[in-house]
Amino acid sequence: MLDAGMADHINMERLHAVIRGDVQGVGFRYFVLRKAHQLGLRGWVRNNDDGTVELVAEGARQDLEQLKRAVGEGPRMARVDRVDTRWQSATGNLDGFDLAG
């Protein structure tokens, strides 16, 4: 029998995305943070040294797809050139959604 913590992530997925373009210094991480909170996702978002923004999010596939669409557009001041994504099974080891690094 699974405990509640393990059962939480059985039907969940994990989205790992790296967003390329003019995505730093334009409020992109806070845009992702707000959207992830609205969707009830768990994970993190951070700026990378190479000018990209990276995120890991876990939740229901439909909610992750909404987040993926949102980061493809970005906030008003950003320019998104490309979003590289990788889908995996959720690990269930993330709490809330926050800024990392």
Per residue in 39-89, pLDDT (tens digit) is 999 999 999 999 999 999 999 999 999 999 999 999 999 999 999 999 999
Question: Is the CATH number 3.30.70.100 carried by domain 4-92?
Answer: yes
Residue 30 above 70 pLDDT?
yes
- Does residue 6 register a pLDDT over 90? no
Select from 5, 21, 13, 1 the least CA-distant residue to 65: 13
Catalytic residue among 20, 34, 46, 47: 47
**With 60 as the cut, is the pLDDT of residue 35 above it?**
yes
Residue 47 known to be catalytic: yes
Residues 45 and 31: their CA atoms lie apart, in Å, by: 10
pTM of the model: 0.89
Question: How far is it, in rounded angstroms, from Cα 23 to Cα 60?
Answer: 26
Task: Take residue 12 and report the two structure tokens written for it.
Answer: 């969940």
- Residue 93 annotated among the catalytic residues of the structure: no
- The Cα-based distances of 76 to 5, 23, 26, 35, 46 in angstroms read 37, 11, 8, 14, 19
pLDDT value, residue 101 = 74
pLDDT reading at 1 higher than 50 = no
